[in-house]
Amino acid sequence: MTKEKTQARREHLARMRADQKRKERRAALLMWGIGGLVIVVIVALVAVYVVKDRSAKSLDAVKSFTYKGSDHSWTKVSYKESPPVGGTHNYYWQNCGIYDKPIHSEHAVHSLEHGAVWITYSPDLPQAEVDKLKTIASADYMLLSPYPGLPSKIAASSWNHQVLLNSADDPRLTQFVKKYKQNPTTTPEYGASCTGGVGTTSDQPLPPPSNGSEQPHEEAQN
């Protein structure tokens, strides 16, 4: 009888150990399964973030044009694009900087020819948005000015390139500036000055030719 009890106890312990091992295996499989699922979810989320980030910064919406440089005129110019991105322009270029009034397109286009990026905004853009634009435009070779009749809230223009935006926080704005400002392959007069020109706003007449000259005046005054 004792032997039978001992054998039964051994069998019972063996079953308990087997059950415990099965439970441990199930727990391990469950843990690895959950861990794998978490890794898959994290990888998916990172992939979605990367795709969205790249999409948000994509410059696919930039429009390109084919204007040649060095075409000057002392008279008003009728531009096809609004704001213009190239073409005939005044002999004087606009001094790069921040303007609270509209500026003459003829001067701004000359600055684009020198490698500047011109950010324009609708006059009714909220001040908080304008302040953000001023921060971006505080660097060299940057122009900022309001532009009545703008087809969007904000536009960024360089020579032969333009993107229309609706927010100063749009990451494409800084990407556009980074790519096209003083771009040696797209700037007709790469390295030319963005100072020493004029600071005239559109409520002032276009400056007359300097001493009747038909050549650009390198020391134009504001």
Q: What is the pLDDT of residues 164-220, one digit of tens each?
A: 999 999 999 999 999 999 999 999 999 999 999 999 999 999 988 876 444 554 434
Looking at the DSSP bridge assignments, the partners of residue 157 are: 118, 162
Q: How many domains does the chain have?
A: 2
Could you tell me the CATH number of the domain that includes residue 94? 3.40.30
Q: Percentage helix, strand, coil, to 5, in the chain?
A: 40, 15, 45
Same domain flag for 52 and 80: no
In a domain, 217, yes or no: no
Tokens matching residue 32: 């690895």
Amino acid at 55: S
Q: Rounded to 5 degrees, what are φ and ψ at 201?
A: -105, 165
The parent domain of residue 161 ranges over: 63-212
Cis peptide before 83 (omega within 30 of 0): yes
Same domain flag for 68 and 109: yes
Same domain flag for 53 and 67: no
Average pLDDT, the chain: 87
In a domain, 107, yes or no: yes
Per-residue pLDDT, 222: 37
Same domain flag for 16 and 121: no
Reduced to 3 states, what is the DSSP secondary structure of residue 164?
Answer: strand
Looking at the DSSP bridge assignments, the partners of residue 119 are: 144, 156
| Whole-number Å distance between alpha carbons of 88 and 80 | 11
Per-residue pLDDT, 21: 80
Residue 102: count of CB within 10 angstroms of its CB: 18
Kind of pairing between the strands at 142-146 and 154-158: unpaired
